[in-house]
Chain A
Amino acid sequence: MIDRDQVLHVAGLARLKLSEAEIDTMTRELSDVLRHIEKIGELDLEGVHPTTHVIDLVNALRPDEPEPCLPVEVVLAAAPEPVARGFGVPSPVAQ
């Protein structure tokens, strides 16, 4: 179960602005999905290690050597607000 306050808290963490209608639907639908999902809590998992990677892998390291990367102007071309050599954003504090 998840209630309205939790939905609002999680939406804040996820940086998602929800409409009133979405808050209601989300509360109902997430509660329903969680009700099914929570059944895995009934399994006995004592001594079971969590999977961190499915295929045996050793660390994939390579020498840290500088090499060419994409030109700045090419990367900035996709940005909503390109500024001199960077990404423009609104002020972090409300004006």
Chain B
Amino acid sequence: MSSLIDLTAAQAADRVRAGEIDAAELFDAYRSRALADDLNAFTWLAEGAPEADPVRPARDAPLGGVPLAVKDLFCTEGVPSQAGSRILEGYRPPYTATVVAKLAEAGAPLLGKTNQDEFAMGSSNENSAFGPVLNPWDTSRVPGGSSGGSAAAVAAGLAPWAIGTDTGGSIRQPAALCGIVGLKPTYGACSRYGMIAFASSLDQAGPLTRDVTDAALLLAHMVGRDRRDSTSLEFPGEIELPRAEDLAGIRLGVPEELSGEGIEPGVLDSFNATLRLAEGLGATIEACRLPHAPHALAAYYLIAPAEASSNLARFDGVRYGLRVDADDLTEMYSRTRAAGFGAEVKRRIMLGTYALSSGYYDAYYGTAQKVRTLISQDFEAAFASFDFIVTPTSPWTAFELGSKTADPYAMYLNDFCTVPMPLAGIPAISIPSGLSEGLPVGFQLAGPAFSESRMLDAAFALERAIAFDGSGPMTGDRARRAS
């Protein structure tokens, strides 16, 4: 049994397709591990492997029946989909999100739904109606967020692979804090249909996986235009499985704004060691400038809450989820929303409503949208000289539960290195680069729009050179740390 869990998702898919292992057996192996989840990573688990399809058995499907953990906010027909919120208590959507349907069709059936920060608002997974997720490397620490359940499940070997969403870092930061790979695709690469919306101009679905090859394999079956999402695009070319063995000719730019001040020393050490490895693989490394990147956080914390305040207006006790009764309609709305939303969601709705309100729109939202243009131009200028921009993914490693909840802005600083990319719509990947005081550190590569295949190639070459050992949390090591 344990050998099944040791296989990466891509290896497992290959073995199923070669007839060496049985897809149902693989599903059950993961299901029993997920059932014993001591990290609060899952909010719901499938009863069992899907019925074998006589016409198209798992061994004929490209993803080989390797089960998938799915962030709670993806609507899945007939299955609880609450986006980690009390306001969607009992909601079982009548339809399935496009990326979940595409992955199931390609042979990655739903294993379970994973815990997350409520409506994807958070960087620690402490803002969930289901309670926090624990980091499998050290259960007194957060897994990051908002896709914390997906990241913890993959890191602990409770799921072979997972999908999450990234708005300001919600795939890359938890991947970094849990020692796995997380990729945020180009805006529009994956359909947002069926994703419970947070900030529509930023939200993107993407893979959280044990290694770069798994990320490429999963992403290859997620991308594509969907007539149900008018912002989705036909992905130019195919996502290919990475093969690069070196970084010959690759130019990496290190933006001084995102790789110095405010970054924990242990994280910087790991980052610099990775740059040396990249150099050894043939890459050229030079400092570069993203002059407006330090303003990305402010722009993000205006744009995302503004869009959220609008998107979350739909949760009003009328069509689905929770209702708190009252004598008149407005009072029913206000009481329902008061009871259904958690503190961080309320804070962001308030911030966004304020930023969009009469007299403040130009000063806040309008200004932020202009800053967004400058951030995009910074990247464009940088990509004229560099193939990829590299930074630490998170300024620090996994922090203790409760240590940043009292100060919202301190929590927002988690996103310092990850918000500029979604503001510019460009793809970025986080790979584990090593440990700092026993906790994983993430290394981020960002590339121009639709450069995913090249980015995965570069990440693959680096991954081999880094040779990170992420097996600790899968072996039950965490139990000893917790005690």
Contacts and interface: CB of A to CB of B under 8 A. Distances in A.
Interface residues on A, range: 35 or more
A12 B369 CA distance: 26
A13 B449 CA distance: 37
A83 B376 CA distance: 49
Interface string B336-374: 011001000011011101100100000110111111111
A51 B378 CA distance: 14
Nearest to A75: B94
Interface string B94-115: 1100000000000000000000
Nearest to B94: A74
B319 A17 contact: no
Contact of A54 (B302, B347, B351, B424): B424
A89 B332 contact: yes
Q: 8 shortest A-B CB distances, which residue pairs?
A: A54-B425, A50-B369, A80-B323, A60-B230, A17-B334, A17-B338, A78-B320, A51-B372
A95 B357 contact: no
Contacts of A2: 354
A65 B319 CA distance: 26
Contacts of B374: 43, 45, 48
Contacts of A30: 347, 350-351, 354
Contacts of B449: 55
Contacts of B349: 14, 16
16 contacts: A10-B354, A13-B357, A32-B407, A36-B298, A40-B371, A41-B363, A43-B292, A45-B370, A50-B373, A51-B423, A55-B187, A78-B92, A78-B321, A79-B320, A80-B320, A94-B331
B329 A39 contact: no
Contacts, number: 170
Nearest to A7: B350
B15 interface: no
Contacts of A84: none
Contact of B412 (A33, A48, A49): A33
Interface residues of B, number: 72
B144 interface: no
A1 to B, nearest CB: 11
B328 A80 contact: no
Contacts of B326: 90
Given A41-B363, A91-B328, A16 B95 contact: no
Contact of A70 (B95, B231, B323, B334): B95
B53 interface: no
Interface string A22-52: 1000100110111011111101010011111
A91 B334 CA distance: 14
B272 to A, nearest CB: 28
Contact of A33 (B319, B333, B351): B351
Contact of A78 (B94, B338, B354): B94
Binding site secondary structure of chain A = loop
B372 to A, nearest CB: 4
Given A37-B302, A94-B327, A17 B337 contact: yes
Contacts of B297: 36
A90 B338 contact: no
B347 A29 contact: yes
B306 to A, nearest CB: 12
Contacts of A50: 366, 369-370, 372-373
Contacts of B357: 9-10, 13
Contacts of B321: 78, 80
Contacts of B363: 41
A54 B301 CA distance: 17
B371 A43 contact: yes
A9 B322 CA distance: 24
B25 interface: no
B299 interface: yes
Nearest to B294: A39
Nearest to A38: B298
A42 to B, nearest CB: 9
Contacts of A55: 186-188, 233, 425, 449
Contacts of A37: 298, 301-302, 364
Nearest to A15: B333
Given A40-B367, A45-B367, A49-B373, A15 B328 contact: no
Nearest to B450: A55
